């Protein structure tokens, strides 16, 4: 090693091989020494330095990675350009982990970041799903509209929306609306969707009118998003205006837009007219979709028209429509609440088989209906699947699971569930305490009953009629136990 260091000039290829050998054997001191020689030689083997930086990062040696990059900048005569060259090398390999410390050094040393440099960086950030950082880089660019494609803007905006970074998405929208004429309809879709997701109807409407004024035809998706937002806010007059505009523009009635129109009819004209509108789409040759059917089915359920709702559910199943998550949830709840337990379970297992996760309300309904019909094995299976799905548990669902455990005599599981609810900060109701106290009293578990009653008093639980009745049963059990404990029967001594 020493002989090699004394040689002049150094052989960069040899040094690179030795560096990689040191890394493979985890000889970090020697690897760092070789890297220093390479830098002092005014030549840098990007492959080898990349491997060394990667090794530092994999071992959380963030500071060492930064120091190595600082040395590259300070020692080499063209250190700044070497850093930029390294950056581009990492970009082409989508190696964001190495670019992160490199960017810190460039910022520290004031290495200029041109728009072209930032363009490559944004591409890398997008491929790494680092959307917020990509927005920061975009806002630092002088003329991003000249170099970034509309496809990149679309990816950036949609990525921010998907990751619930709506403020970042709006910053991107502002920058692009102010500086360039937007041609791609998909970019308009993405921008207007941001304001719909942010519940900014006036802004979304303003952009819609801007598009129409400048001869840009809004897509079906734009109209669907704005119409659904109007209905969400219950702005019926505005919804009518939007509906008239889309009819005037002869917008193609795509699936999402048809569903939005059916929902408008449900709210404005009643469920029967909405059903007729949905049938008219089918008669016009449009492919039926389960979302529109689900909207009408939910409306019938709300009106307690269970038979009509079941007819629609049967149609969805018979026509083998593509069923989305919310449609599955609605159909399962419908079958379970109307006593069609077998059909409900069949749909539940179909849903799980296709990889969907039911919501808390659906899980709660399925388990409680199984319990009501003494299907304890089925209820237990559904309960296990529910807990393995790692859902954010709701109070009704937790109470249902508590009921199941108590009915099966699994009191330890029930108590663990109760403790988990408290740990997760759920606001427990009197029903939760009542389920456990009643189960303990019925099972004549005096110590557990006494502890639960103490918790009810300590937590200052609001006592409803059902809990009041259970507390009376508890006191009765307590009195019986106390009487048995302290009652000494009188004995008469008989002299023989």
pLDDT, position 489 = 46
Q: Using alpha carbons, select from 141, 70, 138, 75 the residue that is nearest to residue 107.
A: 70
Lowest mean pLDDT among 71-85, 127-141, 271-285: 71-85
With respect to residue 149, please indicate whether it lies within any of the assigned structural domains: no
Residue 353: half-sphere exposure toward Cβ, Cα within 13 Å: 7
Contact 405, 411 (CB under 8 A): yes
Q: What value does the mean pLDDT take over residues 468-489? A: 68
pLDDT, position 488 = 43
Contact 238, 202 (CB under 8 A): no
Confidence of residue 241 (pLDDT cuts 50, 70, 90): very high
Confidence of residue 5 (pLDDT cuts 50, 70, 90): very low
Confidence of residue 225 (pLDDT cuts 50, 70, 90): very high
Does 357 or 103 have the greater pLDDT score? 357
The rounded distance, in Å, linking the Cα atoms of 419 and 93 is 49
pLDDT, position 492 = 42
Q: Using alpha carbons, select from 108, 174, 113 the residue that is nearest to residue 142.
A: 113
Q: What value does the mean pLDDT take over residues 378-402? A: 86
**Tokens representing residue 447 in the block:** 């110590």
- Is pLDDT of 240 > 80? yes
Between the alpha carbon of residue 363 and those of residues 219, 292, 438, the distances in Å are 37, 24, 23
Percent of the chain with pLDDT over 70: 75
**Helical axes 131-140 vs 166-179, angle rounded to 10°:** 30
- Is pLDDT of 461 > 90? no
With respect to residue 100, please indicate whether it lies within any of the assigned structural domains: yes
Say how many domains are in the chain: 1
Does 38 or 278 have the greater pLDDT score? 278
**Tokens representing residue 116 in the block:** 């072209």
Q: Using alpha carbons, select from 13, 80, 8, 83 the residue that is nearest to residue 53.
A: 83
Q: What is the distance of C-alpha 66 from the center of its chain?
A: 34
With respect to residue 170, please indicate whether it lies within any of the assigned structural domains: no
**Helical axes 46-58 vs 28-40, angle rounded to 10°:** 140
pLDDT, position 403 = 87
Confidence of residue 1 (pLDDT cuts 50, 70, 90): very low
Q: What value does the mean pLDDT take over residues 296-304? A: 88
pLDDT, position 38 = 66
pLDDT, position 449 = 86
Q: For 318-372, what is each residue's pLDDT tens digit?
A: 888 888 888 899 999 999 988 899 999 999 999 999 889 999 999 999 998 998 8
Q: For 430-447, what is each residue's pLDDT tens digit?
A: 888 888 888 888 888 888
Confidence of residue 260 (pLDDT cuts 50, 70, 90): very high
Does 142 or 171 have the greater pLDDT score? 171
pLDDT, position 4 = 46
The rounded distance, in Å, linking the Cα atoms of 133 and 123 is 11
Does 26 or 254 have the greater pLDDT score? 254
3-state percent breakdown (helix, strand, coil) of the chain, nearest 5? 75, 0, 25
- Is pLDDT of 91 > 60? no
391: left (phi over 0), alpha (psi -120 to 50) or beta: beta
Q: What value does the mean pLDDT take over residues 407-416? A: 87
With respect to residue 70, please indicate whether it lies within any of the assigned structural domains: yes
What is the dihedral angle through the alpha carbons of 52, 56, 59, 62, rounded to the nearest 10 degrees?
-170
Does 79 or 371 have the greater pLDDT score? 371
pLDDT, position 491 = 42
DSSP string, 452-480: HHHHHHHTT----HHHHHHHHHHHHHHHH
Q: For 414-429, what is each residue's pLDDT tens digit?
A: 888 888 888 888 888 8
pLDDT, position 76 = 52
pLDDT, position 486 = 39
Structure pTM? 0.66
- Is pLDDT of 311 > 50? yes
With respect to residue 433, please indicate whether it lies within any of the assigned structural domains: no
Contact 86, 46 (CB under 8 A): yes
The rounded distance, in Å, linking the Cα atoms of 423 and 74 is 53
Encode 271-288: b = buried (16+ Cβ within 10 Å), e = exposed: bbebbebbeebeeeeeeb
Confidence of residue 196 (pLDDT cuts 50, 70, 90): very high
The rounded distance, in Å, linking the Cα atoms of 123 and 128 is 9
With respect to residue 108, please indicate whether it lies within any of the assigned structural domains: yes
Q: Using alpha carbons, select from 227, 296, 295 the residue that is nearest to residue 257.
A: 227
With respect to residue 39, please indicate whether it lies within any of the assigned structural domains: yes
pLDDT, position 482 = 57
Encode 368-383: b = buried (16+ Cβ within 10 Å), e = exposed: bbbbeeebeebbbebb
Domain extent for 88:
1-112
Q: For 17-62, what is each residue's pLDDT tens digit?
A: 766 677 676 777 777 776 666 666 555 555 566 666 666 656 656 5
pLDDT, position 25 = 67
The rounded distance, in Å, linking the Cα atoms of 29 and 23 is 10
**Tokens representing residue 367 in the block:** 């388990």
Mean pLDDT of the chain: 80
With respect to residue 89, please indicate whether it lies within any of the assigned structural domains: yes
- Is pLDDT of 6 > 60? no
């Amino acid at each position: 090693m020493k002989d090699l260091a004394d040689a002049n000039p150094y052989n960069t290829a040899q040094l690179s091989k030795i560096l990689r050998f040191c890394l493979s054997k985890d000889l970090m001191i020697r690897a760092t020494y070789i890297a220093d020689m390479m830098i002092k030689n005014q030549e840098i083997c990007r492959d080898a330095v990349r491997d060394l930086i990667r090794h530092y990062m994999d071992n959380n040696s963030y500071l060492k990675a930064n120091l190595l990059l600082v040395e590259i900048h300070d020692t080499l005569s063209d250190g700044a350009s070497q850093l930029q060259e390294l950056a581009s090398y990492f970009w082409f390999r989508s190696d964001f982990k190495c670019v992160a410390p490199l960017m810190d050094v460039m910022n520290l040393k004031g290495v200029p970041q041109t728009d072209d440099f930032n363009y490559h960086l944004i591409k890398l950030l997008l491929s790494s799903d680092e959307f917020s950082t990509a927005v920061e880089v975009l806002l630092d660019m002088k003329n991003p509209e000249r170099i970034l494609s509309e496809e990149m803007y679309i990816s950036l905006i949609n990525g921010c929306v998907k990751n619930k970074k709506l403020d970042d998405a709006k910053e991107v929208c502002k920058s692009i609306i102010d500086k360039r004429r937007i041609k791609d309809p998909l970019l308009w879709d993405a921008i207007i969707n941001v304001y719909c997701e942010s519940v900014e109807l006036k802004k979304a409407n303003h952009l819609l009118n801007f598009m129409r004024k400048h001869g840009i035809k809004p897509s079906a998706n734009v109209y669907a998003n704005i119409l659904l937002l109007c209905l969400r806010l219950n702005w019926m007059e505005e919804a009518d205006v939007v509906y008239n505009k889309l009819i005037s523009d002869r917008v193609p009635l795509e699936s999402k837009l048809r569903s939005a129109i059916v929902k408008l009819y449900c709210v404005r004209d009643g469920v029967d007219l909405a059903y007729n509108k949905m049938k008219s789409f089918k008669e016009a040759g449009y492919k039926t979709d389960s979302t529109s059917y689900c909207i009408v089915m939910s409306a019938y359920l709300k009106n307690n028209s269970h038979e009509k709702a079941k007819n629609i559910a049967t149609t969805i199943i018979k026509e083998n429509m593509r069923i989305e998550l919310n449609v599955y949830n609605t159909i399962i709840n419908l079958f379970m609440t109307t006593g069609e337990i077998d059909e409900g379970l069949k749909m539940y297992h179909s849903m799980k088989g296709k990889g969907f996760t039911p919501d808390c309300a659906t899980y709660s309904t399925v388990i409680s209906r199984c319990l009501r019909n003494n299907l304890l094995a089925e209820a237990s299976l559904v309960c296990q699947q529910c807990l393995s799905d790692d859902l954010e548990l709701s109070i009704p669902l937790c109470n249902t699971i508590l009921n199941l455990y108590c009915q099966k005599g699994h009191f330890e599981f029930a108590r663990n569930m109760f403790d988990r609810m408290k740990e997760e900060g759920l606001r427990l109701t009197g029903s939760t305490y009542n389920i456990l106290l009643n189960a303990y009293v019925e099972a004549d578990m005096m110590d557990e009953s006494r502890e639960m009653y103490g918790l009810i008093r300590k937590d200052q639980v609001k006592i409803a009629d059902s809990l009041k009745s259970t507390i009376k049963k508890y006191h009765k059990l307590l009195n019986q136990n106390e009487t048995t404990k302290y009652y000494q029967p009188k004995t008469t001594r008989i002299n023989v």
